[in-house]
Structure 1
Amino acid sequence: MPKRGYHHGNLRQALIDAALALIEEKGPTGFTLSEAAKQAGVTPAAVYRHFAGREDLIAEAARQGYEIFADLMEYAYDKGQPSALASFEATGRAYLAFARKYPGHYISMFESGISVNHSPDLALVSSRAMGVLEKAAAKLTENMPEDKRPPARMVSAHIWAMSHGVVELFGRGSPGQKSPFPPEELLESGIGIYLRGLGLIKSDD
């Protein structure tokens, strides 16, 4: 009797989902392709029909994460309209929400060492996500005098770094770390101090 071939409804996505679970559990370098294949219920050889290696698999997980992330950022920005400040703050909160809800994707995107230039598709979608925060920064600073207006890319990079720091230290339950305040409050107060320093919101009386 001839050996039946293995059939899988969506092997490629099953492998990505398996990788995401393993990344969340063991980190981006803590699992093998064989483990991902086993978790997806296929042979290790089947992986190579879709991915050249573990790096390609993680890069695709990152690309899908950026798609979700960009959509969330755009939704948060639009929800905050018509206030430029509300939209700006909403994008920061969306960052925290994404990291909490999609830890496997978050790690793939920001902690795996995979370059956003790994593929044209990954570069494109990561630019879309970063572009939302830059757009929010440009709108927030547009009424500042031109000679005092910081580049929107710089402002967005500062807020991106602040958001990332809050997530890494306090937002994802890092071992041994306990947030002195809720992560959302830490980020909101940090953004407030930063924007007051730029003169974009008034100081408290």
Structure 2
Amino acid sequence: MPAHSSEGTQPSRRWGVEVRQLLLMLLMLTAARASFANHYQVPSSSMENTLFPGDRVAVNMMAYGVRFPFTETDLIAVDQPERGDIVVFDSPGDGTRLIKRVVAVAGDTVELAQGRLRVNGRALSNETQPDVEVFGERHSVLNLGRGGGPDIPASVVPAGKVLVLGDNRGNSADGRFFGWVSADQVYGKAVAVYYRRDQGFVWKEL
């Protein structure tokens, strides 16, 4: 009887070990996804003409630091969001996961009139291309089909904060409504669109 009982438990033990190994592997993969790379599906038109509803975007979760998996605790601080970056973060208003463009960082004086930006006294668009804003090497093509939305009087971005706006200025719930976003609360940087409804799988760098 003892020998028979021992033989009968060996398969179940092996099965238990395999299940634990599988669960550990799944946990590690999920943690890696949460800490290093992820994706985001665009839910609205607030970032047109850069992103469109249904776009699937690859997100670099290490762009601004490495976080302890499943937490907001930074293990390694790498960088800070820069003007022109398209970032993923939780709205300070209701916690909704959003994707917007960083248009001003700590210390900047920012002003918005009729949907067009001035940062540190300099207009980001010009008369030749009034609907194109230039952030260094990045260019964003605005959608002003529904107007420019609420204006922003000249304001200084506080330390540790950024201002985020949608490129579709007349149809975007952004920093004009929920205020500044803490730079250390930005989860990741959108790097490319990898799927678009009318084109299928693509790779359009942002």
Same fold judged by TM-score > 0.5?
A: no
TM-score (norm 1): 0.26
Larger helix fraction of residues: 1
TM-score (norm 2): 0.25
Larger strand fraction of residues: 2
Higher Cα Rg, which structure = 2
Higher relative contact order (CA 8 A, sep 6+): 2
